[in-house]
Amino acid sequence: MTQKSLSFEASFERLEQILEKLNAGNVGLDETLKLYEEASGLLNTCQERLGEAEQKIQVLIKERSGETPQMEDFSPQ
């Protein structure tokens, strides 16, 4: 299964697993780089899923109220 086809929850769970491995401190350099690369892709997937969810919510709010929704920037700082 590719990262793009994983659900938000599955991607987030895999990120947690990777963090546990990295925080344990017993992973070699090559494995660390591999895990970091995977985590980076998973993070992008999670951010995309959250963005899609935010857009859907804004559409639903607009349809419900008949008004143009106000967008807030939820980007991490």
CA distance 72 to 27: 39
Query: Residue 71 domain-assigned?
Result: no
CB–CB of 61/69 below 8 Å? yes
Mark residue 66 as left, alpha or beta (left: phi above 0; alpha: psi -120 to 50; beta: remaining): left
Q: Look up the domain containing 60 and give its range.
A: 3-65
Is 70 exceeded by the pLDDT of residue 65?
yes
Query: Residue 72 domain-assigned?
Result: no
pLDDT value at residue 22? 95
Query: Residue 74 domain-assigned?
Result: no
Q: What is the mean pLDDT of residues 23-28?
A: 94
Query: Residue 43 domain-assigned?
Result: yes
CB–CB of 46/7 below 8 Å? no
User: Residue 41's domain is classified under what CATH number?
Assistant: 1.10.287
The domain total for the chain is 1
> What phi and psi values does residue 28 have, to the nearest 5 degrees?
-70, 170
pTM (predicted TM-score): 0.71
pLDDT value at residue 4? 66
Query: Residue 46 domain-assigned?
Result: yes
State CA 49 to chain mean position distance.
6
CA distance 62 to 30: 48
Query: Residue 73 domain-assigned?
Result: no
